[in-house]
Structure formats: C-alpha cells, structure tokens
C-alpha cells in the first residue's frame, strides 16, 4: 500500500495501519505505521533549522554534519538503562537535493529488577535541502519480536521518500 502525506511517501504491506498526529503540518509532524504484530515505525519531519549544527553548515558541509549528528546522538547516550550500544551500520548517499542515511544499532535495555532485553534500533533519515526539511523514520524493537527476516521492518522503513520535487 502506498501512502503520501505532506510530500512524504511510504510503502507498506496492505495489512499495516497508519496513525497521524493531529497537529502535523507540512513543515513538522509525526506519523506511525503499525504492523499487525504491533511493531511501530515512527516517521517524524521538521525544519532543518531545528538542528543547530545543520543550520550553521554550508551546503557542502551538510552531508558530513548529518553523519556527525547521528554519531553524536548515539555516541553520547546518557541513559543508564542502555548498555552495550553498538552501531552496526551507518551508511548513506546523496541524490540531487537529498541526502539519505541508514543506521542500525544494537543495545541491551536493562530496567531495575528486570532481566536485560537485547534490542535493535533502525533509522532512516532524509535531509531535503530543497525545502529545508529533515525526515526521519525509526523503529526500536526487542530482538525476539522479529521472528522472521528483518526485512519485515526494514522494507517499509527504507521505503520512506521525499516527493518535494513533484511540486516545484
């Protein structure tokens, strides 16, 4: 199923649901796509200006800044419940006015008096220089929640696109 809102498109299996935050606008907002197994992929978008480092960068530096931004977010985790954080993948490319980054992280989540739970996090970011907007799709799940190939979640996550060029 293909879905588009505010020039952001996503393709999901037909049995998934979509929930949109009521206050969402073209420039910023949130939505979730939810699998029948109740695994969520959150999609958020916001003006690039909301990220100070990118705001101060020149166009040439923006590609490096987005990678650095991801490294900083995962490199400075202060949450004491998160242990053994490992970046498994942090790759990207640029196409025209858009930069794309994919990240996969593993960690162990340990709550007080509960057994440790191995987790994975996947994120897909699109930096749109044309309309000055950052789109991010993210999912976090216990490793045992995905009993089949990870493409069950990765496919819809990587299907997120910015369709801004169709309106210019």
DSSP line for 25-59: -SSSEEEEEE-TT--EEEEEEEEGGGSHHHHTS-H
DSSP lists the bridge partners of residue 162 as 8
CA distance 105 to 95: 24
What is the maximal distance between C-alpha atoms in the chain? Answer: 55
pTM for this predicted structure: 0.81
What pLDDT score was predicted for residue 148?
A: 59
- The tens digit of pLDDT for each residue in 77-106 reads 677 777 788 888 889 998 988 989 999 888
Residue 22 has what pLDDT? 93
Mean pLDDT by 10 residues, the chain (168 residues): 93 94 94 90 88 53 62 69 83 90 87 81 91 91 68 88 73
Q: Read off the CATH number of the domain in which 45 is found.
A: 3.40.1000.10
Structure tokens that stand for 49 in this block: 């200006």
SS3 content of the chain, % helix, strand, coil (to 5): 25, 45, 30
Distance of alpha carbon 127 from its chain centroid, rounded? 11
Query: How do beta strands 29-34 and 82-95 pair?
Result: unpaired
Give the per-residue pLDDT at 6: 94
- 39: containing domain: 2-167
Q: How far apart are CA 136 and CA 38, in angstroms?
A: 20
Distance, CA of 52 to CA of 36 (rounded, Å)? 37
Q: What's the number of domains the chain is made of?
A: 1
Distance CA 161, CA 86 (A): 27
């Amino acid at each position: 199923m293909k879905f588009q809102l505010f020039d952001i498109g996503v393709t999901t299996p037909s049995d998934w649901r979509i929930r949109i935050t009521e206050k969402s606008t073209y420039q910023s907002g949130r939505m979730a796509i939810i699998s029948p197994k109740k695994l969520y992929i959150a999609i958020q978008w916001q003006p690039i200006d909301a990220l100070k480092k990118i705001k101060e960068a020149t166009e040439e530096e923006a590609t490096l800044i987005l990678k650095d931004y991801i490294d900083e977010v995962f490199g400075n985790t202060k949450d004491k419940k998160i242990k053994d954080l490992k970046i498994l993948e942090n790759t990207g490319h640029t196409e025209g006015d858009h930069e794309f980054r994919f990240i996969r992280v593993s960690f162990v989540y340990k709550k007080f008096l509960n057994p440790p739970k191995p987790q994975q996090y996947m994120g897909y970011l699109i930096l749109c220089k044309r309309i000055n907007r950052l789109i991010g799709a993210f999912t976090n799940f216990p490793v045992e929640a995905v009993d089949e190939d990870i493409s069950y979640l990765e496919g819809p996550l990587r299907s997120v696109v910015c369709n801004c060029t169709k309106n210019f």
